[in-house]
Amino acid sequence: MVAITDFMKISDYEWEIPRNYRSDMRVPVRIFSTRKMLEQSLSDLSVEQAINAATLPGVVGSVVVMPDMHQGYGFPIGGVAATDFSTGVISPGGIGYDINCGVRLLASQIPYKGVKDQIQSLVIALDHHCPSGVGSEGGIHLSLKELEEICEDGAHWALKNGYATKQDLRRTEENGCIPGANAKKLSERAKKRGLPQIGTLGSGNHFIEIDLIEEIFDEETAKIFGLQKGNLAVMIHCGSRGLGHQVCSDTVQSFQKTIHKYGIKIPDRELVCAPLNSQEGQDYLAAMRAAANYAFCNRQVLAYLARKAFEQVLAGKVKNWQLYQVYDIAHNIGKIEDHKVDGILRKVCVHRKGATRAFGPDVSGIPDEFSKTGQPVLVPGSMGTSSWVLAGTKSSMERSFGSSCHGAGRLMSRQKAKKTIRGDQLKIDLEKKGIYIQAGSMSGLAEEAPGAYKDVDQVIETVSGAGLAKKIARLVPLAVVKG
Amino acid sequence: MTPDKPEGFVEIEHTADISLRIWATTLKDLFKLAVDGLNSIIEIDVDDTDPGNFQEFYIEDIDLESMLVSLLNECNFKIQDDNLCARITEIFIENEKISGRLFLKKIIGFRNEIKAVTYHNLKINHSNKGYSVVIVFDV
């Protein structure tokens, strides 16, 4: 087991496990955390998992871990690992089963004060319009051809079919479509699972939340992002649903058979991988991108449905009831990007598993209007706590492959949460605080209780203290639709 | 192994996902119990009016662990996409293949969703008391 004494302290917010800690490590592990949070993290396998990720062939720089880290399977959640494009590998377990799970933030000119008594109606309407829960199916019936178009065109399919605006696409990571996706690389099973699920939230930790923008930390940047204190915002958290899960399952399974021919040794079978320049690696990249595009389109359709819900409740009662997009980002993804490693610009595959891209100012790949501010970094909290909007920094480009944290990070197991927290009581307690909840299952609600998560404010203090991102705005929840 | 019961499954602590420990005196029972464990996590309501039907299965893979993952993924897919709950009624295990019969019943509903069956630290252990394995499910 790793002990706190195994770490080298770099600063109050940065710790390192040197490369020589274990003989199979190819690079060090760099953890952004306070001492207290790091000690907490040592109670599960997250640090060991980061060390395992540091053994992957072609991994460069350091394996970076965010303060919201916790145990996953293979990679830790909150982990970032970059592998050399020419000599490195791609590991589906380093991206996750929910490919392009991510967050979208919609802002508004709706003052909370003016609609305080409409919040409950709004969350009921959101729940009605946006299918959620286990096995949820959407209202859009796709043909196979349409599904394949979605996988290759992403949110552009939504624009073509009236579910998006041009601004939505501009304000989505990769403009809502990662090039190089190939629907032909998806299994029949993946396609079957994707057909009925476009425009659905799913279950687990996925949600749609109505927030109040409570505090602004940087007026100028907040204005550029479209955030104004006292107004409502809507946050959507979900991913690629069964289609993405199937792509990852198919690949993890098939890579088990092919890894040996490349002579790759891994400490955990969930880290299974293939060289990026191999046929297997390229096929996965194309399928993973197809699933990522499905997820961009899924969140886009959900945004369209959320707008319908707001229109139903507020049109005619409130002057500017529209919701406009701040940004949409992925936090489970593999991206081919250029980063400086030891002073040399290299093309790498950045695996972000429970980590958000946080590109700083003047970096290509972000919308023009954010070129001076850095991209918005969206960090949801847990139902009863704050969510945050940050901005990417120059420092994140140099120290974390342009990445930051993705949430609060789990602290308590689902099993323990269900044993110690009653879903129905939690709903009552949250409603007493003025937070309305629409949830399909009370046990599911208990699993996602705020007490099961780390303190998101401490996570934010750490990433901002470390210089990976800059605080722009703090949001507080008013109502939540839980998947 | 758990001394008071020769076979069974139990959920063990995992920060974010679900981890299930399964143990049995024979390998066949380990596979059967793994499927029962999956069904238990998902909390399925089966349709009692459905008489059910049998379906043959055949899986070929590189080792026991991969065959276990394949079998559980197959059963998970049946639940999520075909609305059918599977139980193993018969199973034959050879070197790199398993075959047998599933008993399938229609599902009215289920409370939890499993995204995937993972290979995380997956190893089927064999001792003089029998077989055991810990499986992490992504939820």
Q: Considering A129, A156, A351, A406, which one is annotated as catalytic?
A: A406
Summarize pLDDT for A390-435 with one digit per residue, the tens: 999 999 999 999 999 999 888 888 888 888 999 999 999 999 999 9
Summarize pLDDT for A344-399 with one digit per residue, the tens: 999 999 999 999 999 999 999 999 999 999 999 999 998 889 999 999 999 999 99
User: Which residues form the domain of A208?
Assistant: 4-411+453-482
Q: Which CATH number fits the domain that encloses residue B49?
A: 3.55.10.10
Q: Does the CB of B45 have a partner CB in chain A at under 8 Å?
A: no
- Establish if B1 belongs to a structural domain: no
Count of domains forming chain A: 1
The C-alpha of A286 sits at a distance from chain B's nearest C-alpha, in angstroms, of 20
Q: Does the CB of B73 have a partner CB in chain A at under 8 Å?
A: yes
Summarize pLDDT for B50-87 with one digit per residue, the tens: 999 999 999 999 999 999 999 999 999 999 889 999 99
ipTM: 0.91
- Establish if B108 belongs to a structural domain: yes
State whether B120 and A256 contact (CB < 8 Å). no
State whether A97 and B116 contact (CB < 8 Å). yes
Mean pLDDT calculated for residue range A14-25: 98
- A77 neighbourhood in chain B, CB within 8 Å: 16
- Examine the residue annotation and report whether A406 is marked as an active-site residue of this protein: yes
- Establish if A92 belongs to a structural domain: yes
- B115 neighbourhood in chain A, CB within 8 Å: 97-98, 204, 245
State whether B16 and A71 contact (CB < 8 Å). yes
Instruction: Please check the confidence at residue B3 and state whether its pLDDT lies above 80.
Output: no
- Establish if A255 belongs to a structural domain: yes
State whether A413 and B122 contact (CB < 8 Å). no
Count of domains forming chain B: 1
User: Which residues form the domain of B36?
Assistant: 8-138
Q: Which CATH number fits the domain that encloses residue A26?
A: 3.90.1860.10
Please write down the HEC assignment for all residues of chain A. Answer: CCCHHHCEEEECCEEEECHHHCCCCCCCEEEECCHHHHHHHCCCCHHHHHHHHCCCCCEEEEEEEEEEEEEEECEEEEEEEEEECCCCEECHHHCCCCCCCEEEEEEEEEEHHHHHHHHHHHHHHHHHHCCCCCCCCCCCCCCHHHHHHHHHHCHHHHHHCCCCCHHHHHCCHHHHCCCCCCHHHCCHHHHHHHCCCCCCCCCCCCEEEEEEEEEECCHHHHHHHCCCCCEEEEEEEECCHHHHHHHHHHHHHHHHHHHHHHCCCCCCHHHCCEECCCHHHHHHHHHHHHHHHHHHHHHHHHHHHHHHHHHHHHECCECCCCEEEEEEEECEEEEEEEEEECCEEEEEEEEEECCEECCCCCCCCCCHHHCCCCCEEEECCCCCCCEEEEEECHHHHHHCCCEECCCCCECCCHHHHHHHCCHHHHHHHHHHCCCEEEECCHHHHHHCCHHHECCHHHHHHHHHHHCCEEEEEEEEEEEEEEC
